[in-house]
Structure 1
Amino acid sequence: MKRIAVVGLLKIELPGHDVLLCDGGFFPVDGEIYRSRDAVFGTIGSVEAMTEGRGDEIPALKIELLPPGGAAIASLSQPGYQKSRVRSWIGEYNIATGLIEGTPEPMFDGQIDQTTLRIGSSRSVAMSCVQTAERVFEIDIGNSLSSTFHTSVWSGELGHDEATGLTTQEAWGVESPRTASGGAGGGGGRGGAVGPGYNNQVHSY
């Protein structure tokens, strides 16, 4: 009689390194081998149950990984990991052969929202993941209000260089011609003290 058991599979597609983990043993799937331990990120510490979203919320997934002691801190938590694809499946395998039966059922397909390296009596990497549908809610405020992005659109306009920690609305935009009196034109924000003159493009901080 064939004996069937269940296994969880997790794939995290990081820049330059795919993390392929399972909750025990090792399993070949689609030409890749899922193991219970990754050389950099170690083993799965815990996977929280997925939560359903309501309204403008979407389902989320939280994963805790337990890296080995020799793993470099810089390789465990980086800003570049954000938006890396994360997928998980539930599969059935034949206990006698150790091979996956049929096609694993997809449970989650999303992206990393943030990673947090926790250091105490032991180290762990907490990953908060959201569904790919999260992109529907992105408004890119961080891009539009950053100095780098701003100067890439309006070359030489440095008004954002000193705009840090503001909690009020400010007007930013392309440089406008000076008035005859040399003051700021077109709503320069705070009486024109922020620059040589800007049009009325208002962003909230």
Structure 2
Amino acid sequence: MDASSVAARKQPVSWIVQLLEWTTADFTIRLSTGGFTPWGEKIFLARDLTYGALGELPTFEDGIDSQTTRASLTIIPPDQTALAAIADRKHKRSLIQVWDATLDGDTGFLIGEPDLLFRGMIDFPRLVIGETWEVVLECATEEALLNEPNEDRRLSNPFHQSVWPGETGLAYVTGLGRKVYWRANTPAGTGGGGYSSGGGGNNANLS
């Protein structure tokens, strides 16, 4: 954490707030638990007139063993239009970040640099319908992608172009009839298909 921010927290006239930034292809939402908060060229608000306000932030904790960090972030939209826009599943894997910041209680300006609490992506939205409409954004860190099975990833033209659209380097390459699996064991009964690393054989005559 920024040294000046740490020092300011020992003073009676400082506020501790959280800043949230959610970036999608359609919009960028910047919300603050401390009201109007400028940070460089960015402005964080207590309530976005279009998309609403922060409802609840969790206690951010690291994952355990093979689990990665997850977080549930709540946004309270002002109407059904905002609810539909926020809860759209096309925002899956969009970037969301949360910082812990210190404000000067007299000026309302940041002291030092905010400390990054969470950087992740939207996994899926969950609706809570009651006296108010809430959208709970279930989020995971980008490292969670490392735990996904990759049996579908193989050395082939279709997969190559799914990663690099329009790049036809494998379109006319021969010898790709066999599947080469990446970061996954070759399925039983396929007769191999993986490439072995180089380094020479043990039976080579070096004399």
**Taking structure 1 as the reference length, what is the TM-score of the superposition?**
0.65
Q: Using the TM superposition, give the Cα deviation of residue 50 of structure 1 relative to its aligned residue in structure 2, in angstroms.
A: 2.1
Of the candidates 7, 10, 13, which is equivalent to residue 3 of structure 1? 13
RMSD between superposed Cα atoms in Å? 2.7
What residue ranges of structure 1 are gaps of 5+ in the alignment? 146-151, 154-173, 175-198
Looking at structure 2, the residues matched to 46 and 79 of structure 1 have their Cα atoms a distance apart, in angstroms, of: 21
Looking at structure 2, the residues matched to 140 and 117 of structure 1 have their Cα atoms a distance apart, in angstroms, of: 30
Of the candidates 36, 46, 49, which is equivalent to residue 39 of structure 1? 49
Change (3 A) 1:2 1:138: same
Looking at structure 2, the residues matched to 45 and 2 of structure 1 have their Cα atoms a distance apart, in angstroms, of: 26
Contact 1:82 1:112 in 2 (8 A): yes
Looking at structure 2, the residues matched to 52 and 2 of structure 1 have their Cα atoms a distance apart, in angstroms, of: 30
**Taking structure 2 as the reference length, what is the TM-score of the superposition?**
0.64
Of the candidates 53, 70, 77, which is equivalent to residue 87 of structure 2? 77
Aligned to 1:91: 101
What residue ranges of structure 2 are gaps of 5+ in the alignment? 1-10, 160-176, 178-188, 192-207
Looking at structure 1, the residues matched to 123 and 85 of structure 2 have their Cα atoms a distance apart, in angstroms, of: 17
Of the candidates 13, 22, 26, which is equivalent to residue 12 of structure 1? 22
More strand by share: 1
Contact 2:83 2:133 in 1 (8 A): no
Aligned to 1:53: 63
AA of the residue aligned to 2:138: S
Of the candidates 139, 142, 157, which is equivalent to residue 132 of structure 1? 142
Contact 1:12 1:85 in 2 (8 A): yes
Output aligned runs, 1:91-130, within 5 Å: 91-130=101-140
Q: Percent identity?
A: 23
